[in-house]
Amino acid sequence: MALIVQKYGGTSVGTPERIEAVADKVIAYRDQGHQLVVVVSAMSGETNRLLELAGQISDRPVPRELDVLLSTGEQVTIALLSMALEKRGCPARSYTGGQVHILTDNAHNKARIQDIDAERVGADLSAGRVVVVAGFQGIDEEGNITTLGRGGSDTTAVALAAALKADECQIFTDVDGVYTTDPRVAPDARRLDRITFEEMLEMASLGSKVLQIRAVEFAGKYNVPLRVLSSFEPGNGTLITYEEEGMEQALISGIAFNRDEAKLTVLGVPDQPGIAHLIVGPIADANIEVDMIVQNMAPDGKTTDFTFTLHRNDYARAMEILQATANELGASEVSGDDKIVKISLVGVGMRSHAGIASTMFETLAKEGINIRMISTSEIKVSVVVDEKYLELGVRALHEAFELEQEAVN
């Protein structure tokens, strides 16, 4: 018998029929002897309906009241799912975030979980009940309703699993696991049985939109085994855990990529301490997120060249800001490109194997793909290339690292 926390997203509970299907699935797990806590999102479309209502009242609704409004979405789902369970003779109890004391800070619309009082949930589980909890929401210390921001239901599930010391946290979604890369780009992409938290974090932040990053961080921090699996298809999905001793690890777990990137370069700035901050600071002050940053000595040996990437939507505004900064600093030139993409190899196996990066560069060179920027970390290598090479590059790398095959032990 295991204690399992399951989370079903908006699509999985999008209609009363689908909620009934979730009830069947939950009961099938329970019939195997497991204890179950089920976290649900708002029915798909519901959050948008509520946002539209708010939009009819105000362009900028007060954050506190927006949370009061949006949190009703999940509350509807928990009630309906509990009704469906009870109809099937399965004792169930629904709880809002506040009712199970999911304590957050008071940052409305993007609150962070600080503590969970698992006592009430534990009592219900001991009494043989399935506990259904509203995802995405909590209360602050004063009892005000907060929300964790869109998609935050994953975090609720992981946090509950951590507080309850659950054996596994299962995230049911509309994909059946984590893939070596996007199958729409590389048709022979393969579903991974396992991946480490660190790899998943790199994959997620690089554009594989399977799980909320914060949920993965949380699961890693509290060592909650996390499984991604499909609401609609059978299968075991992908298990995300810590690397286990003695386990042979694949060199590369997957290839992530980001479309919609842009890069900005400023040439010939004085090479002095603090120059990076002088350049990036004004961009950050404008609430523009900078991704990769690369700095190189200029050919003259006295000045430095500075390049960074950001989201394409922020390109024009960042360019303006950078030009002003460049003038102040007496830089020789500012240039940019908003037709680039980023491709990243991710794998904890890199730590113990040399030559990954050079195989990557060689593979891309063979295809005639020019690398515009490189950035590396312990478990990933990212390159920036022209937009038009995205598909070709991902497919070539997928093949070169034989990701379509299971790792050989």
CA distances from 137 to 19, 147, 159, 216 (A): 20, 4, 12, 18
Quick check: 93 binds a copy of itself (CB under 8 A)? yes
Whole-number Å distance between alpha carbons of 31 and 26 = 9
Applying CB under 8 A, the span of 89-97, 153-161, 163-171, 307-315 interacting with a copy of itself comes to 89-97
184 is in an annotated binding site: yes
CB of 234 to a copy of itself, least distance (A): 24
314 is in an annotated binding site: no
The binder of a copy of itself chosen from 6, 47, 96, 173 (CB under 8 A): 96
Whole-number Å distance between alpha carbons of 361 and 371 = 8
CA distances from 244 to 17, 167, 196, 249 (A): 40, 16, 9, 9
Quick check: 335 binds a copy of itself (CB under 8 A)? no
List residues bridging with 132 in a β-sheet. Answer: 38, 94
Quick check: 48 binds a copy of itself (CB under 8 A)? no
Considering only CA atoms, which of 238, 159, 246, 161 is closest in space to residue 196? 238
Quick check: 12 binds a copy of itself (CB under 8 A)? no
Quick check: 278 binds a copy of itself (CB under 8 A)? no
17 is in an annotated binding site: no
> Of 19 and 204, which CB lies nearer to a copy of itself in the complex structure?
19
Quick check: 352 binds a copy of itself (CB under 8 A)? no
Quick check: 40 binds a copy of itself (CB under 8 A)? no
Tell me, residue by residue from 69 to 88, as one string, x for binding to a copy of itself by CB under 8 A and - for no binding. x-xx--xx-xxx-xxx-xx-
> Of 75 and 307, which CB lies nearer to a copy of itself in the complex structure?
75
CB of 286 to a copy of itself, least distance (A): 27
Whole-number Å distance between alpha carbons of 32 and 345 = 39
10 is in an annotated binding site: yes
Quick check: 287 binds a copy of itself (CB under 8 A)? no
For the chain, what is the total number of helices (H) and then of strands (E)?
A: 11, 18
CB of 145 to a copy of itself, least distance (A): 8
| Residue 159 backbone dihedrals phi, psi, to 5 degrees | -65, -40
Applying CB under 8 A, the span of 17-25, 263-271, 279-287, 351-359 interacting with a copy of itself comes to 17-25
The binder of a copy of itself chosen from 3, 34, 51, 61 (CB under 8 A): 61
CA 371 from chain center: how many Å? 26
Whole-number Å distance between alpha carbons of 357 and 380 = 9
> Of 80 and 364, which CB lies nearer to a copy of itself in the complex structure?
80
Whole-number Å distance between alpha carbons of 153 and 324 = 42
List residues bridging with 264 in a β-sheet. Answer: 308, 336
Sheet holding 102-104, edge to edge: 113-116, 102-104, 137-139, 145-147
SS3 state of residue 189: coil
The binder of a copy of itself chosen from 44, 99, 205, 323 (CB under 8 A): 99
* The token pair that represents 323 in the structure block: 């030009």
Quick check: 58 binds a copy of itself (CB under 8 A)? yes
CB of 287 to a copy of itself, least distance (A): 23
CA distances from 197 to 68, 216, 270, 344, 391 (A): 33, 7, 40, 16, 26
The binder of a copy of itself chosen from 21, 51, 68, 293 (CB under 8 A): 68
> Of 86 and 367, which CB lies nearer to a copy of itself in the complex structure?
86
Whole-number Å distance between alpha carbons of 173 and 189 = 19
SS3 state of residue 409: coil
End-to-end CA distance of the chain: 31
74 is in an annotated binding site: yes
Residue list, annotated binding site: 7-10, 47, 74, 173-174, 179, 184, 209-210
Going by the annotation, the residues of the binding site for ATP are 7-10, 173-174, 179, 184, 209-210
Binding site for a copy of itself (CB under 8 A): 16-17, 19-20, 50, 53-54, 56-58, 61-62, 64-66, 68-69, 71-72, 75-76, 78-80, 82-84, 86-87, 92-94, 96, 98-99, 143, 145
